[in-house]
């Protein structure tokens, strides 16, 4: 049986533009790069009984997503700029501080693979500018706020 690699472009991210009680999952469009990172804090838990071998215990984990892409507009309205709703929700949160910069997201593979997670994040937004012929870029880091939760893949 042949095997195939998974495409990095299969990732999708949705922003909850509703409430936790009544979520409204809005697609975050325009991504051209997606990177998930999980950082681990370790403590040495070696002891005298390990015959000279050391041991580490994971004591904490942090997760974050780093995305890049191009700003999008509503294609049905060419006369006036109407931002993509998912991108705008992220940009709005990225311009706030404290609790207001927290949003709820879910991210998953569009190809139906079981990788699917949901959690609260703080938003670090960067973008704007560019040359005369450039498309407007964005880069966003979603910093996990506590544990993320495995969910059923919405694309499955």
Ordered domains of the chain (ranges, CATH): 12-42+56-150 (2.30.110)
Q: What is the pLDDT of residue 120?
A: 97
Contact 127, 67 (CB under 8 A): no
Residues of the chain with pLDDT under 50: none
Q: Give pTM, 2 decimals.
A: 0.85
Q: What is the pLDDT of residue 78?
A: 66
Contact 15, 105 (CB under 8 A): yes
Q: Which residues contact 36 (CB under 8 A, 6 or more apart)?
A: 63, 64, 65, 107
How many residues in total does the chain contain?
156
pLDDT digit string, tens, across residues 78-117? 677 778 899 999 999 999 998 778 999 999 999 888 999 9
């Amino acid at each position: 049986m042949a095997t195939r690699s998974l495409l990095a472009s299969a990732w999708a991210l949705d922003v909850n533009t509703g409430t936790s009680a009544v979520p409204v999952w809005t697609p975050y469009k325009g991504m051209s790069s997606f990177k998930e990172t999980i950082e681990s804090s370790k403590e040495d838990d070696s002891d005298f009984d390990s015959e000279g071998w050391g041991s580490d215990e994971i004591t904490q984990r942090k997760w974050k997503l780093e995305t890049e892409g191009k700003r999008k507009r509503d294609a049905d309205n060419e006369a006036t700029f109407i931002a993509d709703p998912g991108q705008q929700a992220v940009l709005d949160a990225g311009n706030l501080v404290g609790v207001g910069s927290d949003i709820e997201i879910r991210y998953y593979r569009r190809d139906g693979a079981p990788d699917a997670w949901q959690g609260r994040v703080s938003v670090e937004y960067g973008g704007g500018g560019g040359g005369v012929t450039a498309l407007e870029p964005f880069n966003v880091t979603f910093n996990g706020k506590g544990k993320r939760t495995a969910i059923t893949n919405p694309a499955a």
